[in-house]
Amino acid sequence: MEPVKLTAKDYKTSVPIVWCPGCGDFGVLNAMHQAAAELAIPPENLMVVSGIGCSSRIGGYVNAFGFNTIHGRALPIASGAKLARPEMTVWAAGGDGDGYSIGTNHFVHTIRRNSDLTYIVMDNNIYGLTKGQVSPTTPHGDVTKSTPMGNPDRPLNPLALALELGATFIAQGFSGNVKHLRDLIVQGTRHKGFALINVKSPCVTFRGRQEFTVVREHGVYLDESHDPSDWNQAHEVTQWSEKIPLGVIYKIEGVPTLDQVAADLQEKAREKQHFESTKDLLRIFH
């Protein structure tokens, strides 16, 4: 078959999009469509695995093998898929509740295993789909449906957490800047290893349109002065309190990925054990 030039349009689906008008996630979706085209991934070789949430609906909006799974489990399902088919590209996606609340355990251990996924978190600091309860990234003191007298908890810092856990690629994007976000997704996908892309993707319904303005005003695009291979610099950036860092914060190569480790192990086992068939294996029972 002759190669056809793929465009963003080739990654759209006919599934009706049910996000609220103005939702930040539209920008993320566009960036994903554009990134897929730029990477020229044949749609049938792309898997998009999401959890449950407004953001997680994205699993159905990309022409790919899309899987809108269950709440909090996008990462292990995506990791299982990648392990099964390492030749495919796997994107995982979801919200701040999905990834940093119910899914935290998987977040921590997926990073530890360096599962070769690009994980796009649409961080809107709220639970959108369930209509406005507090999330782990909701600022302290904010009134939400489940914190009518203000959020008593201190928010989680997912970038710093990922860094501490040894994530090999950490970036932050903004759904208001599709081009920049597209580039981050492209870089994250090319990165061999777990790539976290936390996206400031405002929920206009439960946190208002001004969230876009906040990111526009406080967002700082990292320039060449930032060396993403320097852990300490990266750490400092994750600790910014007023400014919001945008761009690739941290990146190291060469850490073996889950699927590479598995392939190596298979080779080693074959060398050592060389069973040709399960019948051969009977000898261990004698």
Partner 1 sequence: MRDVTLAIAGSGGDGVITAGDFIVQAAARKGLNAFMLKSYGPQIRGGESSARIRISDRPLYSQGDFVDFLVVFSWKDLARFLDEIKLRKGAVVLYDEADKTPPEEFPIDAELGAELIPVPFKKMAAEEIKVPLTKNMVALGVIAELLHLPLDAIKDAVIKKFGKRKPEAAEVNIHAIDLGKKWVNDNLPKGTQIVLEAEGTDEPKLVMTGDDAVAFGALHAGVKVFAGYPITPASPILEFLSKWLPNFGGTVVQTEDEIAAISYAIGASWAGRQAMTASSGPGIALKQEALGLAGIAEIPLVVVNVQRVGPSTGIPSKSEQADLYQAVGGTPGDIPRVVLAPSDVEDNFQVAIEAFYLAEKYQIPVIILSDQFLGERSETIDEKVLFARKRVISRQLAKLNGGEYKRYKLTDTGVSPMTIPGMRGGQYITSGLEHLEDGRPTSSGTIHQVMSEKRARKLHLIAEESGFVRTYGDPEAELAILAWGSSKGAVREAVEAAAEQGLKVKAIVPQLIYPLPEKVLDEALQGVKRAVVIELSYGAQFYRFLRAYYDGLPAETYSYARGGANPLLVSEVLEQIQKYAQEA
Q: Provide the binding-site residues for ligand TPP, judged by CB under 6 A.
A: 52-55, 71, 94-98, 122, 124, 126-130, 135, 203
Tokens of 76: 């292990």
Nearest to 29 by CA among 172, 164, 201: 201
Taking CB under 8 A as the binding criterion, the range among 21-29, 47-55, 111-119, 187-195 that sits at the site for a copy of itself is 111-119
Do residues 203 and 23 make contact, with C-beta atoms less than 8 angstroms apart? Answer: yes
Say whether residue 206 binds ligand SF4 (CB under 6 A): yes
Closest distance to ligand TPP from the beta carbon of 155 (Å): 13
Q: How many CB atoms lie within 10 A of CB 10?
A: 15
Please state the closest distance from residue 182 (CB atom) to a copy of itself, in A: 30
How many angstroms separate the CA atoms of 89 and 24, rounded? Answer: 24
Closest contact distance (angstroms) between CB of 196 and ligand SF4 is: 20
CA distances from 255 to 75, 194, 214, 251 (A): 19, 10, 36, 11
* Binding segment (CB under 6 A) for ligand SF4, from list 20-28, 105-113, 140-148, 154-162: 20-28
Judge whether 249 and 274 are in contact, CB under 8 Å.
no
Q: Is 25 a binder of ligand SF4 (CB under 6 A)?
A: yes
* Nearer Cβ to partner 1 (1/224): 1
Residues that bind Mg ion (CB under 5 A): 95-96, 124
Site residues (CB under 6 A) for ligand SF4, limited to 185-204: 203-204
Is residue 77 close enough to count as binding a copy of itself by CB under 8 A? no
Residue 124 contact, options partner 1, ligand SF4, a copy of itself, none, Cβ 5-8 Å cut-off depending on partner type: ligand SF4
Residue 98 interface partner, choices partner 1, ligand TPP, Mg ion, none, CB cut-off 5-8 Å depending on type: ligand TPP
CB of 226 to ligand TPP, least distance (A): 28
Least separation, in Å, of the C-beta of 52 and partner 1?
6
**DSSP bridge partners of 158:** none
**Which residues ranging from 133 to 172 are in contact with a copy of itself (CB under 8 A)?**
136, 149, 152-154, 156-157, 160-161, 163-166
Q: Are 29 and 56 in contact (CB under 8 A)?
A: no
47's enclosing H/E stretch is: strand 46-50
Per the CB < 8 A criterion, the answer to whether 171 and 198 are in contact is yes
Which of 44, 112, 221, 275 contacts a copy of itself by CB under 8 A? 112
Instruction: Return the exposure string of 76-113: e unless at least 16 CB atoms fall within 10 Å of the residue's CB, then b.
Output: bbbbebbbeeeebbbbbbbbbbbbbbbbeebbeebbeb
- Which of 154, 131, 156, 134 shows the shortest CA–CA distance to 143? 134
Q: How far is the CB of 121 from ligand TPP (least distance, A)?
A: 9
Residue 1 CB coordination number (10 Å): 4
User: According to CB under 6 A, which one of 6, 8, 15, 20 is a site residue for ligand SF4?
Assistant: 20
Q: Which does 256 bind (CB under 5 to 8 A by kind): ligand SF4, partner 1, Mg ion, none?
A: none
Q: Whose structure tokens read 């290893």?
A: 193
Contacts to a copy of itself by CB under 8 A:
101-105, 108-109, 112-114, 136, 149, 152-154, 156-157, 160-161, 163-166, 256, 261-262, 265, 268-269
